[in-house]
């Protein structure tokens, strides 16, 4: 039977290997990475990796399983930290951007694997996506009940609109090598979601430049 100290050491080593792996995956790409490189990054022997993981593929799957639970709990707490629907949406988007900004390696690996339709961590990625879509549905339904969100919306389109916009903002930030504050994009994004890009012009009246 393992002693508490041994269990703690195993747990620490397990997470150290996970974090080392995602650094290597982010730096070199999953397919170009090797178990030896991960072991070196984690400061352990190659054989130690196999005490915790079946292979390189298993490391990626377990990393996403661990991160899915961890990140979603933070999303849930952010949403539950507000009363009104639009504040819940602001909190969700801000926390999403903050989480990816805090762990750029995780953001890189997640974006690459989701955009390449990787089948290795497909179940974990789908689970996280479903939980996120469910949160958005919950917020929109509350907003409709409050009268601050339109009731004639096509839910599927709304979810794609929000998720796609956040995804593109994260991709742009990653391609810029994180040269600006990603979380600062939260408020403009929510404003765009709520206000749209058009102005309300009365039918049949000329606009300011004289055109119809």
Name the pLDDT band for 212 (thresholds 50, 70, 90). Answer: very low
Q: Rounded to an integer, what is the distance from CA 60 to the centroid of its chain?
A: 16
Q: What is the pLDDT of residues 152-171, one digit of tens each?
A: 999 899 999 999 999 999 99
Inform me whether the pLDDT recorded for 8 exceeds 80: no
Angle, helix 4-28 to helix 104-115, in steps of 10 degrees: 60
pLDDT at 201: 63
pLDDT at 79: 97
**Cα-based torsion angle of the residue sequence 70, 109, 23, 100 in order, rounded to the nearest 10 degrees:** -50
Name the pLDDT band for 118 (thresholds 50, 70, 90). Answer: low
Residue from 11, 9, 13, 33 nearest 23 by CA: 33
The mean per-residue pLDDT over the stretch 137-166 comes to 94
Tell me the domains of the chain and their CATH numbers: 1-53 (1.10.10.60), 56-195 (1.10.357.10)
CB 176: neighbour CB atoms within 10 A?
10
pLDDT at 112: 87
Q: pTM surpassing 0.95?
A: no
How far is the C-alpha of 63 from the C-alpha of 19, rounded, in Å?
A: 8
Give the E-state strand segments of 116-203 in sequence order. none
Two tokens, residue 133: 């879509």
The mean per-residue pLDDT over the stretch 72-92 comes to 96
Inform me whether the pLDDT recorded for 208 exceeds 70: no
């Amino acid at each position: 039977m393992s002693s508490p100290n041994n269990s703690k050491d195993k747990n620490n080593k397990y997470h150290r290997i996970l974090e080392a792996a995602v650094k290597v995956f982010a730096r070199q790409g999953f397919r170009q990475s090797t178990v030896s490189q991960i072991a070196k990054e984690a400061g352990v022997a190659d054989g130690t990796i196999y005490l915790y993981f079946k292979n390189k593929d298993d490391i990626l799957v377990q990393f996403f399983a661990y991160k899915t639970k961890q990140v979603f709990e933070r999303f849930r707490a952010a949403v539950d930290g507000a009363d009104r629907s639009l504040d819940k949406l602001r909190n969700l988007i801000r926390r999403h951007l903050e989480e990816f900004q805090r762990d750029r390696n995780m953001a890189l690996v997640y974006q690459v694997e989701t955009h390449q339709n990787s089948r290795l961590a497909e179940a974990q990625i789908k689970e996280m996506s479903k939980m996120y879509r469910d949160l958005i549905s919950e917020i929109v339904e509350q907003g409709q009940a409050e009268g601050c969100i339109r009731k004639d919306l096509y839910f599927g389109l709304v979810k794609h609109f929000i998720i796609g916009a956040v995804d593109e903002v994260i991709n742009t930030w990653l391609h810029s090598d994180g040269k600006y504050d990603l979380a600062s994009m939260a408020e403009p994004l929510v404003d765009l979601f709520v206000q749209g890009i058009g102005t309300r012009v009365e039918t049949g009246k000329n606009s300011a430049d004289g055109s119809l």
